[in-house]
């Protein structure tokens, strides 16, 4: 089968303390301190066989994530921008849809032909994090497209416990191609869904939501907020193209934070009440947190989702003075995040198709990544 493989040189920086596990397996916990000169190539690989508890999926579509882009970008010394976990060489890609081809001997939740998508993190279920319900922070995790072979390939094997059926999307998308395109956008939608409902507490219908940064996560997030009954959804985004996509989705309060004063704008749109929900999806935290802190409604929820390179100065007194809370949110694993997101999509309340702005063939996957690197698209998909 054809697959898009990421490789790089194992060259740990002298200041970095390698663990035994990192040394033995060439698995980097902090990729940006270890991998140099990353390179993508489309290559021929053996079709994988499902293990006992796995399912073999023929991939239809897979979306390019900010993390895929960051794995191909480097600093001046050639070190990868992406700072989290990777084991290379590896087939990347983790936001995907496909059709079940074959199931392992102990996997009986799915049948050949079922349309599916998957969570990213394979958790052990036995460690302290898993036993507390935080499967996304499993101490023995593996991740599809990061440490396990991913979905920019004709086939991928997935543990059945993190695979989800999406046949109910046919209520909304009669055309099979549309169904698989929509299903490939479930994963990015679950990132904000988990932040809003798995982590933050007490978000109400009618709340005013503000998105700081509307790349693919912010755009799918705005859709989730609207589907969940937000009173208004406000967004700040410097890219003209991305603001245009948000407008096309029907959002009217979308602004360039460089051209307008975001604090004044939130006050104007909310009638001076401030925003109840603040979602940080830009990473430019030095600019966004002062705005968030000056626009907190009473009992506001701040949901921190982006991977920022540095930390902002927090005005803690303002959180006290507004009974506000700041929630860290990472990933989407476990609980009921996937099935609920799929239900929202099946009901027609969450439609991400207009967010998909570019589609490439697997053979041209490197062009797809180059397109995503421009940071002007809603979502770039690869069709297998």
Which stretches of the chain bind Zn ion, using CB under 5 A? 65, 123-124, 127, 130, 138
Q: In the complex with Zn ion, which residue's Cβ is closer, 165 or 331? A: 331
Q: What is the DSSP string of 79-123?
A: BBS--S-EESSEE---EEEEEEEEE-TT--S--TT-EEEE-SEE-
Q: How far is the CB of 285 from Zn ion (least distance, A)?
A: 19
Structure tokens at 166: 């999406």
Q: Which residues make Cβ contacts (< 8 Å) with residue 83, sequence separation at least 6?
A: 30, 31, 32, 33, 307
Answer yes or no: are the C-beta atoms of 178 and 172 closer than 8 Å: no
| Cross-strand bridge partners of residue 382 | 62, 360
CB distance 333 to 121 below 8 Å: yes
Q: Going by C-beta distance under 8 Å and a sequence separation of 6 or more, which residues neighbour residue 30?
A: 16, 83, 84
Sign of the dihedral defined by the CA atoms of residues 176, 144, 328, 309, in that order: negative
| Residue 336, helix vs strand vs coil | coil
Q: For the CA atoms of the chain, what is the radius of gyration?
A: 20
Report the phi/psi class of residue 250: left, alpha or beta, with left for phi > 0 and alpha for psi in -120 to 50. Answer: left
**Least Å distance between CB 41 and Zn ion?**
21
Minimum Å gap between C-beta 131 and Zn ion is 8
- When the beta carbons of 161 and 318 are compared against Zn ion, the nearer one is 161
Q: How far is the CB of 65 from Zn ion (least distance, A)?
A: 3
C-beta of 71 vs 138, nearer to Zn ion: 138
CB of 110 to Zn ion, least distance (A): 23
Dist. CA 354–CA 160, nearest whole Å:
30
Nearer to Zn ion, 67 or 270 (CB): 67
Q: How far is the CB of 146 from Zn ion (least distance, A)?
A: 10
The smaller minimum CB distance to Zn ion, of residues 62 and 346, is found at 62
The whole-angstrom separation of Cα 381 and Cα 335 is 27
Closer by beta carbon to Zn ion, 92 or else 266: 92
User: Which of 30/68 has CB closer to Zn ion?
Assistant: 68
Least separation in angstroms between CB 306 and Zn ion: 12
Token representation of residue 370: 């180059």
8 A C-beta contact, residue 52 and residue 107: yes
């Amino acid at each position: 089968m054809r697959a898009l493989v990421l490789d790089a040189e194992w060259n740990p920086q002298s200041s970095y303390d390698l663990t035994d596990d990192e040394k033995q397996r060439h698995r980097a916990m902090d990729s940006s301190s270890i991998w140099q000169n990353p390179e993508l190539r489309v290559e021929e690989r053996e079709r994988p066989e499902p293990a006992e508890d796995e399912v073999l999926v023929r991939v239809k579509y897979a979306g390019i994530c900010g993390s895929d882009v960051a794995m191909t970008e480097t600093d001046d010394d050639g070190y990868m921008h992406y700072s989290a976990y990777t084991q290379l060489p590896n087939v990347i890609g983790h936001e995907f849809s496909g059709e079940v081809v074959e199931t392992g001997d102990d996997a009986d939740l799915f049948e050949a032909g079922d349309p599916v998508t998957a969570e990213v993190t394979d958790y052990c279920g036995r460690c302290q994090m898993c036993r507390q319900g935080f499967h996304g922070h499993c101490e023995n995790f593996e991740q599809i497209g990061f440490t396990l072979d991913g979905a920019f390939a004709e086939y991928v094997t997935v543990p059945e416990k993190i695979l989800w059926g999406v046949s109910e999307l046919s209520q909304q998308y009669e055309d099979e191609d549309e169904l698989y395109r929509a299903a490939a956008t479930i994963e990015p939608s679950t990132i904000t869904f988990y932040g809003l409902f798995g982590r933050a507490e007490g978000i109400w219908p009618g709340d005013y939501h503000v998105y700081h940064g509307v790349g693919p996560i912010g755009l799918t997030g705005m859709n989730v907020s609207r589907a969940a009954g937000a009173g208004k959804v406000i967004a700040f985004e410097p890219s003209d193209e991305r603001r245009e996509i948000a407008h096309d989705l029907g959002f009217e309060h979308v602004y360039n934070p460089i051209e307008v004063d975001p604090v004044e704008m939130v006050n104007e749109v909310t009638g001076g009440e401030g925003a109840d929900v603040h979602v940080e999806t830009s990473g430019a935290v030095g600019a966004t947190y002062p705005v968030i802190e000056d626009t907190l409604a009473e009992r506001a929820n701040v949901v921190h989702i982006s991977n920022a390179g540095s930390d902002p100065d927090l005005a803690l007194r303002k959180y006290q003075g507004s009974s506000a809370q700041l929630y860290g949110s990472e990933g989407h694993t476990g609980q009921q995040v996937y099935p609920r997101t799929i239900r929202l999509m099946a009901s027609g309340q969450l439609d991400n198709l207009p967010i998909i702005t570019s589609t490439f063939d697997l053979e041209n996957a490197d062009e797809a990544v180059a397109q995503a690197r421009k940071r002007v698209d809603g979502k770039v998909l690869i069709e297998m």
